Chain A
Amino acid sequence: MTTLTDFFLQPLSYEFMQRGIIAAILVGIVCAVVGAYVVLRGMAFFGDALAHTILPGIALGYLFSGGARDVLFWWALGTSVLAALGIGAISKNSEIREDTAIGIIFAGMFALGIALISTVRSYAVDLSHFLFGDVLSVSTQSLWLILIFGGIVLLTVFAFYKEFTTLSFDPILAATLRLPVGLLNNLLLTLIAATVAVSLQTVGVALMVAMLVTPAATAYLLTHRLSHMMMLAAVFASLSGVIGLYLSFYLSIASGAAIVLTATFFFIIAFLWKRTT
């Protein structure tokens, strides 16, 4: 019995594990709720592109601050909001197909980010943290930023729940009800952008889309109500965060990858279960 208790409690004796687990749970909840709209509106590719597009912003912050991690949140947030609204505008007034335009911009920006970071050769290890996350190095200050901005995102979704849902289900209805469709679309893009900034340290830009999409898609398979889908997705995402960190601790695997793999495992189970019933 003691060994089992030890198994769960021993990692918690480390402060970096405590902070990591809190961060993973908070990020999981925010990603899951916003991710529900990402899944329902078919914006997975947009989310992935957005996450990659912020890399040059992070790189600039990194170069200017000489490697300090805490200020990077603000650089990530700024770039992310700009990129989200920019991509939103391009996809509306583009002569080439929307996904092609997004693909070009996201790959170009991603390359620019890598180029900038590679100028500082000795910090190559930090690049992998931006790409794949490093939740175990979250500082108390970063934790507060995650809590505050994650809270703002959740409150906004709660406040505009019926508008976002109506707009996602039937944009023409939203327009005939004279809801401010353009404003709501941009607000949703901004929320996704803030979610990306909040999640940066946990899973990194390359794995971000998994946190946005996988828990929400898992919940989508198991429920028929949007509110239930959001809550269930939050449970899956938080569980993935906690289990992933324990796996990371005991098996010495990268924390972001462990979290995403756990979320993917939940999805596969739900998918197979849905198949057999």
Chain B
Amino acid sequence: MYPHSHHKQDQPILDVSHLTVRYNGHVALEDITFHLHNGERVAVLGPNGAGKSTLFKAVAGVMPPTSGEVNIYGSRPRRHVCIGYIPQRSQVDWNFPVSVADVVMMGRSAKLGPLNWPHKKDWDFVQHALETVEISNLASRQISQLSGGQQQRMFIARALAQEAELMLMDEPLTGLDTPSQEGILNLLDRLKQENVTVMVATHDLEQAASHFDRILLLNHHLVAFDKPQAVLHTENLLKAYGGRLRPVDGENILTVDDCCDEGEHDHAH
């Protein structure tokens, strides 16, 4: 069997302590400390290159910390299979010859173990996951035939098939039209009832404020981590976004210059 770690239920689902990640001579993340409660929904906000993707990769255990540590239910992420990482859509080869159901089934690879082919139970799991995200009618479609919102739902279904308890979603709303964005956000609301903990990287301050329990404001350092109304004030935002933030005259409204870049790569400036 592939490795599976035990969960200590008295420990937080995610505990990040003094996490620093450097690569190619750049500091991507420095001295990040926070922890999440079970079932919480957290928006991760920050400018392009702030280290959002790096944070997710370090939390998922696919990028080693330079110093500090990440713990999932009390142990290192490297042996946990309960972390679902949902990539940016621009990072995916949409012409890969697989159907929607095939991709969702990939989420079960770990539970299946080596040399096993999917059983009926696994296909039922896939079917159920597709029903939860409301695209079971698209199961046999090739993945390039999906709309942006459907592509995102497919990846959420894959994380459900993986039985992920912590979902890390890298800019799932970028490039989607408003109804699709609302659809995904409503879906996240329903996942809360299934006690799935969700971290979502986003650029949209308003959605972050209205749909998430807490906001983690990031710019290599942890600028703030608290309830939306406590995080989203000018001083914090200026700290995170610097000159890229423009107060709209007189009002307490802010706009961010660099939203909605497809295919953000984390690199320190």
Contact = CB atoms under 8 A, between A and B. Distances in A.
B250 interface: no
A104 interface: no
Interface string B93-112: 10011110011011101101
A173 B99 contact: no
A177 B93 contact: no
A163 B109 contact: yes
B110 A178 contact: yes
Kindly state the interface size class of chain A when it binds its partner: 20 to 34
Nearest to B92: A170
B100 to A, nearest CB: 11
Contacts of B118: 162
Interface string A207-244: 00000000000001001111011000000000000000
Contact of B2 (A160, A165, A178, A229): A178
A226 B81 CA distance: 25
A91 to B, nearest CB: 17
Interface stretch (B10-18, B82-90, B188-196, B226-234): B82-90
Contact of B3 (A165, A168, A174, A178): A178
B114 A163 contact: yes
B97 A229 contact: yes
A228 B98 CA distance: 10
A176 B62 contact: yes
A226 B103 CA distance: 12
Contacts of A224: 97-99, 142
A172 B57 contact: yes
A115 interface: no
Contact of A173 (B3, B61, B106): B106
B20 interface: no
Contact of A172 (B78, B85, B105, B110): B85
Interface residues of B, number: 36
A163 B78 CA distance: 18
Interface string B40-61: 0000000000000000010011
B97 A172 contact: no
Contacts of B114: 160, 163
A180 B78 CA distance: 11
A166 interface: yes
B138 to A, nearest CB: 13
B162 A178 contact: no
A230 to B, nearest CB: 10
A173 B107 contact: yes
Interface in A169-194: 169-170, 172-180
Contact of A226 (B62, B78, B92, B97): B97
A40 B97 contact: yes
B81 A178 contact: yes
A165 B61 contact: no
Contacts of B35: none
B110 A179 contact: yes
B97 A177 contact: no
Contact of B84 (A40, A160, A176, A228): A176
B79 interface: yes
Most-contacted residue by chain B among A159, A172, A175, A177 (CB, 10 A)? A177
A178 B106 CA distance: 12
Contacts of B99: 224-225
Nearest to B96: A169
B60 A220 contact: no
B87 A165 contact: no
A162 B2 contact: no
Nearest to B170: A172
B86 to A, nearest CB: 9
Given A162-B112, A225-B99, A225-B102, A169 B93 contact: yes
B106 A170 contact: yes
A50 B15 CA distance: 45
Given A162-B109, A166-B109, A169-B106, A176 B60 contact: yes
Contacts of A165: 98, 102, 106
B68 to A, nearest CB: 20
Most-contacted residue by chain A among B61, B98, B118, B162 (CB, 10 A)? B98
Most-contacted residue by chain B among A166, A223, A228, A229 (CB, 10 A)? A166
B46 to A, nearest CB: 20
14 contacts: A169-B96, A169-B106, A170-B87, A172-B62, A172-B85, A173-B85, A175-B62, A176-B84, A176-B85, A178-B80, A178-B110, A179-B2, A224-B97, A224-B99
Which 3 pairs from chain A and chain B are nearest by CB?
A224-B142, A177-B110, A175-B62
Interface of B: 2-4, 57, 60-62, 78-81, 83-85, 87, 92-93, 96-99, 102-103, 105-107, 109-110, 112, 114-115, 117-118, 142, 158, 162
